[in-house]
Amino acid sequence: MHREISGLSSMATRAILAELSAHIRQVHGIPIRFESAGGVDVARRIRAGAEADVLVLADDAMAALAAEGHVLDGTLRPLWISQVVAAVPEGAPAPALASEADLRAALLAAQRVAYSTGPSGKAVVDLVDRLGLSDEVRGRLVQAPPGVPVGSMLASGDADLAFQQHSELMGLPGVTVIGPLPGSAAISSTFTGGVPATSPAPDRATAVLDLLGSDTATKAAHARGMRAAGDDD
Domains of the chain from N-terminus onward: 5-81+190-228 (3.40.190.10), 82-185 (3.40.190.10)
Q: pTM of the entire structure?
A: 0.83
pLDDT of 12 reads 85
Report pLDDT digits (tens) over 80-128: 999 999 999 999 999 999 999 999 999 999 999 999 887 788 899 999 9
Q: Taking a C-beta distance cutoff of 8 angstroms, is the pair 20, 220 a contact?
A: yes
Q: What are phi and psi of 12, to 5 degrees?
A: -60, -30
Give every residue of the chain whose pLDDT is below 70, as ranges: 1, 147, 231-233
Neighbours of 160 (CB within 10 A): 18
What is the secondary structure of 144-198 as a DSSP string?
A: PPTT--THHHHHTTS-SEEEEEHHHHTT-TTEEEEEEPPGGG--EEEEEEE-BTT
pLDDT of 225 reads 85
Q: Taking a C-beta distance cutoff of 8 angstroms, is the pair 221, 227 a contact?
A: yes
Handedness of CA 191, 210, 63, 50 (dihedral sign): positive
SS3 state at 134: helix
